[in-house]
Amino acid sequence: MVNNSKAFNLAKYAIMFATIFVAMMIDRGISAALPISMAICVLLVTFSFCFVQNCWADGIVSFTCFGVASFIKAFIFPDAIVWYYKPIVYVLPRILAGCACFGVYRLMLLCVGRVRRRRVAQITAMTVAIAVGLVSNTVFFLLPFGYLSEGGEGFVAAIKAVVFLNILPEYLTSLLLAPWVVLGVRRGLKLGIDGNNWRLDADSAPQTSPAQTNTTQNEASK
């Protein structure tokens, strides 16, 4: 049974953030050899964390970690955004995208609930949710970035052109690989196809009343 203590969740989210940040730095290293900036690894890792445990908290925290990692990266590699606007550009859009992504995932699970093949239902729900998450992330990021950038219309137009060049590889990688990564991790962690075995086990565990506990202790002492 999984440990649901605060310490466990804190450690889990710390690992989540560290993994997302490392994936972002890997993308940065790959992009150094390319004329465009890629976010293939970090998006794949973020979507994977979002769905692994089929949990609202994990879904939103994964995108929050993505946003915070982007925020830190913007200080390591300065850009055209004034520092006090950076949370609006890098963190808030990712939180909104996470809410939209996981919300669509849960909605899609309701829509495909009658599908007998649960694996197909999960892949369908995740694929649609990832598509919504990708579009939401792009739109929610570009709007404040384009409005708050210091560099004129030409700079913003160039950024938009680069983003459109990035869309195809980033979108295809997340859409094609992320659902299978999630199912593989769920299988490895014994979370079940639906990703909620741990919670089901916790909910189905027999509850011992204080009277029963006292009785057991008395019998053990005899």
pLDDT (tens digit per residue) in 51-66: 999 999 999 999 999 9
- The answer to the question of residue 61 being in a domain is yes
- CATH number of the domain that residue 41 is part of: 1.10.1760.20
When divided into structural domains, the chain yields a total of 1
Residue type at position 219: E
What's the pLDDT at 142? 81
CB atoms under 10 Å from CB of 38, counted, come to: 18
What's the pLDDT at 183? 96
Residue range of the domain that includes 114 = 6-221
pLDDT at position 203 over 50: no
Taking residues 101-115, what's their average pLDDT? 93
pLDDT at position 134 over 70: yes
165 vs 159: CA distance, rounded Å? 10
Q: Are 133 and 98 in contact (CB under 8 A)?
A: yes
108 vs 140: CA distance, rounded Å? 22
192: left (phi over 0), alpha (psi -120 to 50) or beta: left
Residue type at position 118: R
- The answer to the question of residue 1 being in a domain is no
What's the pLDDT at 204? 46
At 47, the pLDDT band (50, 70, 90 cuts) reads very high
At 36, the pLDDT band (50, 70, 90 cuts) reads low
- The answer to the question of residue 118 being in a domain is yes
Taking residues 89-93, what's their average pLDDT? 93
CB neighbour list of residue 155: distance below 8 Å, 6 or more residues apart: 80, 149
CB atoms under 10 Å from CB of 81, counted, come to: 19
